[in-house]
Amino acid sequence: MRQTRAAVGPDFILIFRLSMLDLIEKGSTWEEVVLLAKALENAGVSMISTGIGWHEARIPTIAAMVPRASFTWVTKKLREEVSVPLITCNRINTPEIAEEVLSRGDADMVSIARPFLADPEFVNKARDGRADEINTCIGCNQACLDHVFEGKRCSCLVNPQACHELDLVYQKTLNKKRVAVVGAGPAGLACATVAAECGHEVILYETAHEIGGQFNMAKLVPGKEEFYETLRYYKKRLEVLNVDLRLGEQANLNKIKAENFDEVVIAAGILPREPGIAGQDHPSVLTYIDVLRGNKSVGERVAVIGAGGIGFDICEFLSHDDDQSSVDINAFLEKWGIDGKHETRGGVAGVESKIATSSRQITMLQRKKTRLGAGLGKTTGWIHRTSLRAKNITMVAGAQYGKIDDDGLHYSLDGAIHVLAVDTIVLCTGQLPLRDLHVELEKNGISSHLIGGADVAVELDAKRAINQGSRLAASL
C-alpha cells in the first residue's frame, strides 16, 4: 500500500478489500483485523471495503436465505477503530435497505454487485423515485455465480439481458402485433412485458386471480421470500407497459379466434407428474401443490418422494417450524453459529450452530443412486443439504418404490424390503407440460409458441423460463 500510494500520489483513490469476518475456525481474530486496518490507514489507503467469509466457509453469506444486510454490523464495529471511510456489502439489494444501513451509521458507503445485474437502472430508478420499478436481485446465484464457477458467461435469472446485451436486444418494433400470452407465470410474465416493451399490443390471460404461477408457491418456502419482490416488479411492469392483464380468465379456442391475434404464446405451465406407484391415490398422498398452494394438512411423519429442487423446498417448508433465520439477522447468526460480537477467532471458533431439528419426522427418497440434491445450484446446493441434515431429515438414495397402503410407503433398497410408517406422503416426482390449448389451436390451424413449463417441464427452471420468454418476445 505504501509503495502504491507513493507511485500514484495523494489524490488517487485506493480501496483495500479487507476480510473482517472470516467465518472459518482458524480465521483472524478481531484484534488482527483492527491491526491490519490501522496499518493500511497509516500506509495511505483511501477506503477499506468489507470482506465477509471465504469460499471454504460452510456458512452462507450472500444466498437468498441470508437476511438482507446481515453483516453490516461488522463494518460498524470497525468504524470505531479507524477514520478512513468504510464500505459494507452482502445482501443489500434495495435502495431502502442501503439507506437504512447508511442512516444508522453502519458504514460510509455500500457496495452492491448482483443487484446491478438484475437491474442496470437500479440507481436511476432510485434517484427518480421509481424504486417500485426495480427488478430486485433475489440472491439465487443461479445465473451469476453458478455460471462463473462453471466457466459460463455470467448473467441473471430475473434479467437474462445481463451480459447478453448484444444478443438479446429489446428494440421498438416497426411491425406492431396483437399478441396473446396464456399464463402469467415466470415465462409468461417475461414474454408479455418484453413484447410490450418492444411495442406490441399484449393481452395476458391467467386463470388464477393473481400473477406469478409457480412463483406463488416458491415465495412460501423459507429462504425464498425474495420472490415477493419479483412478483411486485412484474405487477408494476405490466402496469407501466399497459399490458391488458385478464386475471381469472381462461383462454380458449373461441377467445383466441375472436381476438384475431397475430401471435399466440402458450405459457400455461405444468401439471404434477404421477409416479406410477401402486396406491398413489391413498388418502395419505398429497402433491407438492396440495401442500404449498392447497394448504392441505400434513402429519408428523412424512415421506417426500423426489429429491430435486421441489423435494428440497418441501422438506424446508415442512421442517421450518418457527425458524425466523431467513428474515431475522440475530436468528440467522445463531442458527449458523456466528459470534455476533466477533469475539472469537474467525467469528465462529467454539460457537455451535443451532439449526433446530424438525418437529416432524421427515424422510426424503429418490430412485437415483446419486447423492440427493445433485442437481441443485453449484454455490447454494450445499447450503440446502447442510440445513436439512442438521434438521435430521433422513435422505434415501436408490429407493425402488413398491406400494402405498395403510401401513405406509413400501420400498426396497439394495434388495431389502422396507416399510416406512408415515402419516403423509408428498409427491415431488416431476411435472408434465400443460399443452391442451396448444394442441387444440394446432388442430384448428392456429400456430402457437410454447415456452416455460408448457414447453419443457422436466425440471421447474425459472432461469430458463424467463430467458426463453424474453427471447421469444424480442424475436416477434
Q: What whole-number distance in Å separates Cα of residue 149 and Cα of residue 167?
A: 22
Could you tell me whether strands 416-420 and 178-182 are parallel, antiparallel, or unpaired per DSSP bridges? Answer: unpaired
Q: Which domain holds residue 106?
A: 2-112
Mean pLDDT for all residues in the chain: 96
* 323 has pLDDT over 90: no
Q: Which sign, positive or negative, has the C-alpha torsion 59, 61, 67, 69?
A: positive
6 and 87, same domain (yes or no): yes
315 and 267, same domain (yes or no): no
pLDDT tier at 77 (50, 70, 90 boundaries)? Answer: very high
435 and 421, same domain (yes or no): no
Region 151-180 average pLDDT: 97
pLDDT tier at 49 (50, 70, 90 boundaries)? Answer: very high
Q: What whole-number distance in Å separates Cα of residue 476 and Cα of residue 473?
A: 5
83-120 pLDDT per residue, tens: 999 999 999 999 999 999 999 999 999 999 999 999 99
261-306 pLDDT per residue, tens: 999 999 999 999 999 999 999 999 999 999 999 999 999 999 999 9
pTM, to two decimals: 0.94
* 321 has pLDDT over 90: no
Residue 365: give its domain's CATH number: 3.50.50.60
pLDDT for the residue 331:
94
Region 383-407 average pLDDT: 96
CA angle, 372 then 377 then 380, to 5°: 95
Q: What whole-number distance in Å separates Cα of residue 72 and Cα of residue 324?
A: 19
Does some domain include residue 127?
Answer: no
Does some domain include residue 265?
Answer: yes
424-475 pLDDT per residue, tens: 999 999 999 999 999 999 999 999 999 999 999 877 799 999 999 999 999 9
Give the whole-number percent of the chain exceeding pLDDT 90: 95
Does some domain include residue 393?
Answer: yes
456 and 360, same domain (yes or no): no
313 and 416, same domain (yes or no): yes
pLDDT for the residue 460:
72
* 217 has pLDDT over 90: yes
Residue 95: give its domain's CATH number: 3.20.20.120
